[in-house]
Amino acid sequence: DAGVIQSPRHEVTEMGQEVTLRCKPISGHNSLFWYRQTMMRGLELLIYFNNNVPIDDSGMPEDRFSAKMPNASFSTLKIQPSEPRDSAVYFCASSFGRSETQYFGPGTRLLVL
Amino acid sequence: DAKTTQPPSMDCAEGRAANLPCNHSTISGNEYVYWYRQIHSQGPQYIIHGLKNNETNEMASLIITEDRKSSTLILPHATLRDTAVYYCIVRVWGNAGNMLTFGGGTRLMVKP
């Protein structure tokens, strides 16, 4: 199994630009999570999906952030417009059913100039 | 979910056992203890979890006190590759959302 796949691995953009992060969960997993990690705030859950449906997005910072999961094998996290304070590592994770084990992807390192 | 307290950092000699403590004095009866670790520049990795009995797998052992207010993760023979931040998390198993709340963790440095 390839594990959770995230792309791009690194992204550098300018303030005001749109950024789209992508995630492919492990095949068969039905829960997907987006996390953000910064030095100041550590690891924070942004949003999670169950069976492609967003269940809790209370961690999404503001309206500039949006996430979609059009099917069981793909999710996106979009930031529009991006700001320097959005610079962080964004992780996607997936899990199966009632399993408590979340499998994390390698992360996308985002730098907004 | 109950909060946890971990020392911010620890050192361990290579080949020796690493014992990482975690306090969770407000844990409730249906909350499990989970451990994840994050090696530099990688995503967090699941290690082990338990409710009240001690648990062991190929990676580590988890010792939970009888009153469940604290636990210890044991890496029996630490290697340099075990250098990472270790997170102790308590939460209800099967809780709607399967969400994990990561605290500050313990930065374990394994030294040769």
- pLDDT of B98 > 70? The answer is no
Q: Which of A31, A42, A91 sits opposite B98 (nearest CB)?
A: A31
**CA-closest candidate to residue B45, choices A32, A40, A3, A65:** A3
Residue A80 has what pLDDT?
96
Residue B29 has what pLDDT?
86
Lowest mean pLDDT segment, chosen from A73-82, B24-33, B89-98? B89-98
Residues paired with B71 in a beta bridge: B22, B64
Q: Which site among B55, B92, B98 would you substitute to test the A interface, given the most A Cβ atoms closer than 10 Å to its Cβ?
A: B98
